[in-house]
A and B are shown apart, each in its own frame.
Chain A
């Protein structure tokens, strides 16, 4: 087992990508994700890869599209306003079955917002984000270790489904330093994607990667294939259930807020309150089935998010006709603390 290292979540993402065999990184400066391109500018080159500081997030995401089309493991990272700009290429990548990893260290919005943590990009991340009917597989790590682990997994999933995968963190995850244990996965090797990637039409028919489907029925067919892919992704659901078994109230929260909520839950357990935490790790596909199971047991729910209510929609959809969820918002722009979650948790616990 490797020694522990003490690093920021941003660096954990970058190191995870390198461990996963990421060969191209396309960056653009924006706070609070700058550590990723800064780290990569040297580290990926040392590892024999390519770093480009693009002229914009638009260009960075399109470079990612190009690298992904050749079957090479590639990544870009940004933060909210920058991720909005990447949506064009993300839609094209989803529409043309191109694998890629996109990191969003969510900051406060809308507009320029601030550079602090927030979860206002939940809708954008889980509903596709750009034009058309598509989804990304979205991982929401809560710790630096998870950021490392899930980034490695993100590359495997991107290639398994030939789809963009998103790592959705926030300024807390990105900027907080903590110890992680790096590890090295087994890599797929040079042959990854060799049945579809573009590498020159030598001794084979030429290949075409595109999202334009004009022939009658062709686009419907592509959408059908994409839907089948998203259906298959349901098997990738991941979540953390903490003290949920005997809980009367379950707090639903993801990412950094999930971690803070866990502290609140732990503290309230010590005070004798029967509360638990349900933390989705994949935001898409959303872990609806396990949530519904908990709902069927007659439990109450409180969703806490660092936004004005986005994931709560998915929580409610998961348990529709069986149960409902209260909602407590942390306003983007404010920093959350475990203590401020106690009052709303108590209130929901009492069913008020």
Chain B
């Protein structure tokens, strides 16, 4: 068998810049970045895209994706994305937000951008903590989960239940696609990409707002090794945050 026949079948997508990331070992942001990059390549959107970065560990996403980008204040990416899309309706507009950014400080912006059916895609990375600031309690922190601001574990009576964003978003009229996937396993990563593609297509086809929640690990702030963190997604997160498609207008045969 000749080496010349050998084919490179898995490599960095062109839309992802060739440089090491600042993320901790086992952090799933890198997987999410890669899926976005693969789709930008496959759907030939790289040259048409404008990324709205957000605040959190993924604030440096603009260093990793080879597309135009603007930085939004904490939680405001869907509003900034609205402004970008209204100003340049021919461009592909993408926000990438964590759970503190999207489900807490940015709750108003995400809800209303979704409800208006803005033709933007939102990649929502849910790892149940504020990562960059050091692992504080997030709106998605599971009951009993210990963080630096709920050292005794999140208490349902005082801090409420973790917010299920995809369920909420899927109820809003302007949403064309809403799905929750997980980045813990090969199978789930493949599904995540499928959902992201759907959400991207909904924008390209002018169908409406696209929303994909990605259950992700934050081994550092969960204070566990990456392999264990992936197990935690399966054992603790997925039972509370069920995976699946919550809304898909393409299946219902029409634009929203």
> Footprint of B on A, CB under 8 Å?
23-24, 26, 50, 52, 54-56, 58-60, 62-70, 72, 74, 88-89, 92, 96, 198-203, 206-212
Contacts and interface: CB of A to CB of B under 8 A. Distances in A.
Given A63-B86, A206-B67, A208-B62, 15 more contacts: A52-B86, A55-B112, A59-B108, A65-B70, A65-B73, A65-B76, A66-B52, A66-B70, A72-B88, A74-B83, A92-B72, A92-B73, A198-B68, A198-B69, A200-B47
Interface in B57-76: 59, 62, 66-73, 76
B9 interface: no
Nearest to B118: A52
Nearest to A26: B83
Contacts of B66: 201, 206
B80 A63 contact: yes
A171 to B, nearest CB: 27
A54 B79 contact: yes
Contacts of B83: 24, 26, 62-70, 74
Given A201-B47, A202-B47, A202-B48, A62 B69 contact: no
B67 A67 contact: no
Most buried by B among A52, A72, A206: A206
B87 interface: yes
A70 B84 contact: yes
A69 B82 CA distance: 12
Given A63-B83, A64-B83, A210 B70 contact: yes
B87 A67 contact: yes
Contact of B79 (A23, A66, A199): A66
Contacts of B111: 55
B73 A89 contact: yes
A62 B48 contact: no
Given A59-B109, A67-B87, A52 B82 contact: yes
19 contacts: A24-B86, A52-B86, A55-B111, A55-B112, A60-B79, A62-B80, A66-B52, A66-B72, A68-B83, A70-B87, A92-B71, A96-B70, A198-B50, A198-B69, A199-B91, A202-B48, A203-B47, A210-B71, A211-B71
B100 interface: no
Contacts of B53: 210
Nearest to A199: B88
Contact of B87 (A50, A56, A60): A50
Residue from the set B53, B71, B72 with the largest chain A CB neighbour count within 10 Å: B71
Query: Which of A66, A199, A203, A210 has its CB near the most chain B CB atoms (within 10 A)?
Result: A66
Contacts of B48: 200, 202
A2 to B, nearest CB: 28
A207 B49 CA distance: 11
A66 B87 contact: yes
Nearest to B71: A210
B79 A63 contact: yes
A282 B222 CA distance: 53
The 10 closest A-B pairs by CB, nearest first: A66-B83, A63-B83, A62-B79, A210-B71, A55-B112, A72-B87, A66-B80, A67-B87, A202-B47, A67-B83
B68 A200 contact: yes
A208 B69 contact: yes
A111 B50 CA distance: 38
Nearest to A73: B87
Contacts of B50: 70, 198-200
A108 to B, nearest CB: 27
Contacts of A59: 76, 79, 82, 108-109, 112
A207 B82 CA distance: 19
Contacts of A70: 50, 83-84, 87-88, 91
Given A206-B69, A208-B62, A65 B80 contact: yes
Contacts of A74: 83, 87
A198 B80 contact: no
Contact of B71 (A26, A64, A200, A212): A212
A209 B69 contact: yes
A239 to B, nearest CB: 34
B180 interface: no
Contacts of B62: 208, 210
Contacts of A58: 76, 79, 108-109
B179 interface: no
A199 B76 contact: no
Contacts of B80: 62-63, 65-66, 69
B72 to A, nearest CB: 7
A26 B76 CA distance: 14
B73 A199 contact: no
Nearest to B80: A66
Contacts of B29: none
B81 interface: yes
Contacts of A63: 79-80, 82-83, 86
Contacts of A88: 73, 76
A24 B89 CA distance: 12
A59 B109 CA distance: 6
A175 to B, nearest CB: 28
